[in-house]
Amino acid sequence: MASLKETPGAGTSRIVISVDAMGGDRGPATVVAGIWYSARKNPELDFILHGPQDELEKLVSRRKGLSDRCTIRDAQGVVTMNDKPSQVMRHGKGTSMWSALESVREGEATVAVSCGNTGALMALSMIRLRRLPGVNRPAIAILWPSRNPQGFNVMLDVGADIKADAQDLLQYALMGAAYARNGLALERPRVGLLNVGTEEHKGRAELKEAHDLIASREVAGKYQFVGFVEGGDIPGDTCDVIVTDGFTGNVALKTGEGTAKLIGDLLREAFAYSPLSRIASLLALTSLSRLKKRIDPRRVNGGVFLGLNGTVVKSHGSADATGVSAAVKLAFELARSGFGDRLAARVASAAEGAQDGAAQKDLNQP
């Protein structure tokens, strides 16, 4: 994945990523293959791998050079896709997911990566890592292919919580802008608030309130607020960050992924229709390969949990080795940029500013 910009002047110290080896649908062999791909491309990258030690030792030993850069932490329990978050919160200790988050909590690793159950991962992350001061609801941010020069837009929330009031949406705007600055090298990201229309009178009451709040924090948050945007702007060039609640964002995300797959299937059918169309596909092979790479969800795999005392990257549960490698690449770039510390500082500054503003408002009351 080539979504994040290189960090100028980055150091050469070792960066450690904590990986839950047992959460994906394809099993630990796929996860190990994915981290091996990343290890070969990034010589300063090391791993703490969590899962059954005997099984993981065999898989790691088959990948040349990986054992020298990988520490295995024995964790016999596995969080399945069918487990309820409430059950995992009570009985998750001893699982590979819990162990992976614990390495970030203890400062052994900078970022945790898991292909596991999204609800359980968010629940455990909130318990083990805790929310940043001033954050009510953490959010999941993803990179969405777009027509912007950077190639991607940031969208959040895409499923951490189905609810979001005006204050939550303001926090999402601040966190999304911080992600865009560090992940896409945008000095002053443009932020849009997703709505059913761009007119200021449209939308629910909390959206109108959020509109005014986000606009009022534009200077302090170091972003440009473009106002309301619509669904068609998600892959467009109107803004760089799209803010919405988790219910709407998750529906949009799944719709986009399904549409990308449909386009790919229809193209294959069209080029297989006749001998002439098959010849045309050979002539267009380079362009088709470029298009496939551009819309391939595996290469932008990885949602980032924002608003926690630690960075967590959630990979698709069905990710193959390429997808796992993309999620690890995202985790690596965020760790190298010092994103977690910068985000915490930005949220703390915003919280202080909000308190000062509220206090000033009280003083001005007759």
Average pLDDT score, the chain = 84
Work out the number of other CB atoms within 10 angstroms of the CB of residue 231: 17
Provide CB contacts within 8 A for 49, sequence distance 6+.
Answer: 19, 21, 31, 32, 35, 56, 60, 70, 71, 72, 73
Which residue carries 């449909």 as its tokens? 262
pLDDT of 324 above 80:
yes
Fold classification of 142-299 is Isopropylmalate Dehydrogenase (3.40.718)
Positive or negative torsion for Cα 307, 311, 315, 317: negative
In a 3-state reduction of DSSP, which class is residue 184?
Answer: helix
140: enclosing H helix or E strand: strand 139-145
pLDDT of 305 above 70:
yes
Domain locations along the chain? 13-135+307-365, 142-299
Q: How far apart are CA 171 and CA 347, in angstroms?
A: 8
64 or 302: which leads in pLDDT: 64
Mind listing the pLDDT tens digit for each residue in 213-267?
999 988 888 899 999 999 999 999 999 999 999 999 989 988 888 887 787 788 7
Query: What 8-state DSSP symbol labels residue 231?
Result: G
What pLDDT, on the 0 to 100 scale, is given for residue 277? Answer: 75
In a 3-state reduction of DSSP, which class is residue 242?
Answer: strand
Question: Are 319 and 298 within 8 A, CB to CB?
Answer: yes
Q: Which of 44-58, 115-129, 331-345 has the lowest mean pLDDT?
A: 331-345
How far is CA 118 from each of CA 31, 85, 195, rounded to the nearest angstrom? Answer: 17, 9, 25
Mind listing the pLDDT tens digit for each residue in 120-165?
999 999 999 988 887 888 999 988 888 899 888 999 999 888 889 9
9 alpha carbon, distance to own chain's centre: 24
Fold classification of 13-135+307-365 is Rossmann fold (3.40.50)
